């Protein structure tokens, strides 16, 4: 059976927001463990985490992962004020060494991870190569997430209905809805 064609959008204001996504999928994350990369204050990841922590059926724990954990303390405090356990994980996706260290930490957890949200990204930075010899934007946005996901896959498979969500953004604050057949 052919899938329904996507609904055409007539203006950018018709695009769903992260808050719509969180409300729609709130029952699926109730009491789950969610790890989100790239939660810098003011960014898409931080907005997502804040909305996630205020949804009617919140997760049990949110792990805030990124290269500057000290920057996440305010976001962590907001999550905890909403009665949700929060952890901070040091993860620099532009360093395979850091990715492996973060994966080692996650793999040491007994409970696993229900949902991995690969959100982190850099854009329009000057051309530089990482310590691993790759262009920084390619490694931070793609290769680092690929390696991290692969290294913690057993943690996702421990959990019933473990999920990996890869975020790409047209603009901060907007998210695409999953298709009905591919949700």
Active site positions, annotated: 168
For residue 79, pLDDT over 50 is answered with yes
CA proximity to 79, closest of 103, 58, 107: 58
Least confident of 23-27, 132-136, 139-143, 175-179: 175-179
pTM over 0.85: no
Q: Output the average pLDDT for the chain.
A: 85
Q: Answer with the residue of higher pLDDT: 11 or 27.
A: 27
Q: Where are the domains of the chain?
A: 17-166
Q: Do 167 and 175 contact (CB within 8 A), yes or no?
A: yes
The neighbouring-strand residues paired with 107 are: none
Residues sharing a CB contact under 8 Å with residue 34, sequence separation 6 or more, in sequence order: 52, 59, 61, 62, 63, 113, 114, 115, 117
The answer to whether residues 153 and 106 touch, using CB atoms and an 8 Å cutoff, is no
Q: What is the pLDDT of residue 171?
A: 47
Minimum mean pLDDT range among 18-32, 93-107, 146-160: 18-32
Looking at 22-26, 65-69, 164-168, 177-181, which range is the least confident one?
177-181
Residue 50 has pLDDT above 80, yes or no: yes
Radius of gyration of the chain (CA): 17
What is the pLDDT at residue 85?
A: 97
SS3 content of the chain, % helix, strand, coil (to 5): 40, 15, 45
pLDDT at 35: 98
Does residue 13 register a pLDDT over 80?
no
Q: Tell me, which fold does domain 17-166 have in CATH?
A: Rossmann fold (3.40.50)
């Amino acid at each position: 059976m052919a899938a329904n064609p996507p609904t055409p959008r007539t203006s950018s204001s018709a695009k769903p927001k992260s808050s719509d996504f969180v409300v729609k999928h709130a029952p699926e994350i109730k009491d789950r463990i969610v790890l989100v990369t790239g939660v810098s204050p003011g960014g898409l990841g931080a907005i997502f985490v804040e909305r996630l922590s205020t949804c009617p059926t919140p997760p049990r724990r949110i792990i805030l992962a990124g290269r500057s954990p000290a920057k996440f303390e305010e976001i962590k405090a907001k999550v905890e004020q909403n009665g949700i356990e929060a952890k901070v994980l040091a993860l620099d996706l532009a360093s395979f060494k850091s990715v492996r260290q973060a994966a080692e930490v996650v793999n040491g957890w007994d409970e696993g991870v229900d949902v991995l949200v690969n959100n982190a990204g850099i854009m329009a930075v000057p051309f530089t190569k990482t310590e691993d010899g790759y262009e920084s934007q390619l490694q931070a946005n793609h290769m680092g997430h690929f390696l991290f996901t692969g290294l913690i896959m057993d943690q996702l498979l421990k959990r019933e209905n473990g999920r990996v969500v890869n975020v790409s953004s047209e603009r901060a604050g907007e998210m695409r809805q999953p298709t009905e057949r591919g949700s």
